[in-house]
Amino acid sequence: MNRSVPLLFLNVFVVATCGLIYELLAGTLASYVLGDSVTQFSIIIGLYLFAMGVGSWLSRFVENDLAERFIDIELAVAILGGVSAPLLFFAFANVSFFSVVLYGMVFGIGALVGLEIPLLMRILKDELDFKELVARVLALDYVGALVASILFPIFLVPTLGLVRTSLVFGILNGIVGLWGTWLLTPLLKPGKIVFLRIKGVFVITLLVIGAIKADSLTVLAEESLFQETIIHAQSSRYQRIVVTRGRTGFSLFLNGNLQFSSFDEYRYHEALVHPAMIAFEGEPKRVLVLGGGDGLAVREILKYPSVEHVTLVDLDPAITSLATDLPVLAELNKRSLKDKRVTVVNSDAYVWLDRTDASGFDVAIIDFPDPNNFALGKLYSTRFYKMLRAKLRPDSTVGIQSTSPLYARNSYWCIVETLEASGFKVKPYQTTVPSFGIWGYVLAKGSEFERPKEIPAEIPLAFLDKDSMAGMFDFPVDTSRPDNELEINRLDNQALVRYYEAEWRRFE
């Protein structure tokens, strides 16, 4: 047994690493499908740690056959943790009580992991001084957690994806269980060893098959989520990207949220870009685009002969690459990101604004996803808008997508009031995009200005004309500024995310 002690400590490291990976998988997947990543991660981390405490407490009732129980628990973690990601994807698509499945699985994995460490410490108690035992076990536990937290976002998610990561670490748990039948042979009953090894081989084989078929499992799960045929799917470091094709064209989804449909995206992008371009007094030459990595807003900007340079800042290189490499998308955006006037910067827009020396832009177009989490909420804050103002000319114009004033009325007007609090003069407007419904935007400048009225005749448009543009700035009663006082969205309160979550939750 003495010779096996170092290897058993290696088990502690593996157990800790796998346990945290399952926790991160659940939190990431929940934030993908449910939004509000801070809430989801907070609940899952708290529940997981509580479950580990429950498991540790339950370990006191395990009195006999400690080595056998440890191996059984390790194999149970392998199965439950290994299938967690594919099972949660299927559950989200097919059951109405997804949260129960999610939190039940997190609790189950946490309780089993909480059982493992105390049992292993009791197995090792006769081999080491208690002080040395506790120090080594807890140190390896925390080191394993650190390794998992570094590997998960940098390597595992972008390289393996959620489903394959889940299955691979399930295999790792299964190998630890099977390996334990040799390390702990002196503590196992001879008649049990063969049976435990058969169970271990069965679990590992099952998970290996799952890992080999991971892409098929992912597609099968996503086909349950998306009604149309999936023509492209990938996991980047930041999000899950899915492109589907249907009768009316193709659509882009990020983390399950529709970004555009080729059927009607021109209405969205013409409304986003052209009021700001027209409202600039003079000929716009230098344009900044924040977000909009699909290249569709840039396509509209490049319709203006005066434009000399466009700087596009988008967080995810996978999106900007897709915009040039996926034929259907490259055709839709007229290969705008390949234009010699366009510079693509893959960076967090908030960080980029804070650090860049670039300034003097005539027009800025902001095309971020809706503020459904705090990471996005900061991009709609007073701090962000003040940094943006510093990069613009005094007479520059800004066009901002601002969610729906019908479905999320408080959220929309919170954005308007946050811009006003940041020193901008604003002209709110809205239009109808069939894929989204009534959709809102804000036109902003550093000083008072008139609504744009005339559309240059040489600019080819499919939707906007003089009359439709004038009508966008009129709000009916149900989308007009509410009477209730709204909070300004600041970094330290993220009021917008709270408004958004409360309003859109009604339609889930």
pLDDT of residue 508: 63
**Same domain flag for 254 and 268:** no
| Residue ranges, the chain, pLDDT below 70 | 1-9, 33, 35-37, 126-130, 133, 222-224, 508
Marked catalytic residue, from 294, 367, 465, 483: 367
CA distance 298 to 305: 13
* Residue 277, pLDDT score: 96
Same domain, 78 and 197: yes
What percent helix, strand, coil does the chain show, rounded to 5? 60, 15, 25
pTM for the whole structure? 0.78
Residues 172 and 282 in one domain: no
pLDDT digits 0-9 by tens, 361-372? 999 999 999 998
CA distance 199 to 375: 44
State whether 173 and 240 are in the same domain: no
Residues 283 and 158 both lie in one domain: no
Pick the last residue of a domain from 235, 259, 283.
259
Q: Find the CATH number of the domain harbouring 494.
A: 3.40.50.150
Domain identity same for 208 and 318: no
What pLDDT, on the 0 to 100 scale, is given for residue 15? 81
pLDDT of residue 4: 57
Domain boundary among 167, 195, 221: 221
Q: What is the pLDDT of residue 286?
A: 97
Collapsed DSSP state (helix, strand, coil) of residue 431: strand
At 204 the pLDDT is 93
Count of structural domains, the chain: 3
In this structure, the dihedral spanned by the alpha carbons of residues 35, 37, 41 and 44, taken in order and rounded to 10 degrees, is -10
Cα–Cα distance, 33 to 24 (Å, whole number) = 14
SS3 263: coil
DSSP codes of every residue in 5-42: HHHHHHHHHHHHHHHHHHHHHHHHHHHHHH--HHHHHH
Q: Which amino acid is at 48?
A: Y
Same domain, 255 and 268: no
Q: Are residues 422 and 466 in the same domain?
A: yes
Q: Both ends of the chain: CA-CA distance in Å?
A: 56
Identify residue 154 by its one-letter amino acid code: I
Kindly give, in sequence order, each residue whose CB lies less than 8 Å from that of residue 6, ignoring residues fewer than 6 positions away. Answer: none
For 117-154, the pLDDT digits (tens) are 888 788 877 666 667 767 777 787 788 888 888 888 88
Rounded CA separation 495/502 (Å)? 11
For residues 269 and 301, what is the distance between their CA atoms, to the nearest angstrom?
10
Structure tokens belonging to residue 175: 């190998």
HEC profile of 278-344: HHCCCCCCEEEEEECCCCHHHHHHCCCCCCCEEEEEECCHHHHHHHHHCHHHHHHCCCHHHCCCEEE
194 and 338 co-located in one domain: no
248 and 373 share a domain?
A: no
335 and 411 fall within a common domain: yes
Give the domain CATH number at 50: 1.20.1250
Residue 159 structural domain: 2-221
Would you state the pLDDT for residue 34?
72
Active-site residue 467, yes or no? Answer: no
pLDDT given at position 155 = 84
Residue with tokens 């650190």: 146
- pLDDT (0 to 100) of residue 453: 86
**215 in the same domain as 305:** no
Instruction: Give the CATH number, domain containing residue 250.
Output: 2.30.140.10
Give the C-alpha separation, 113 to 105, whole Å: 12
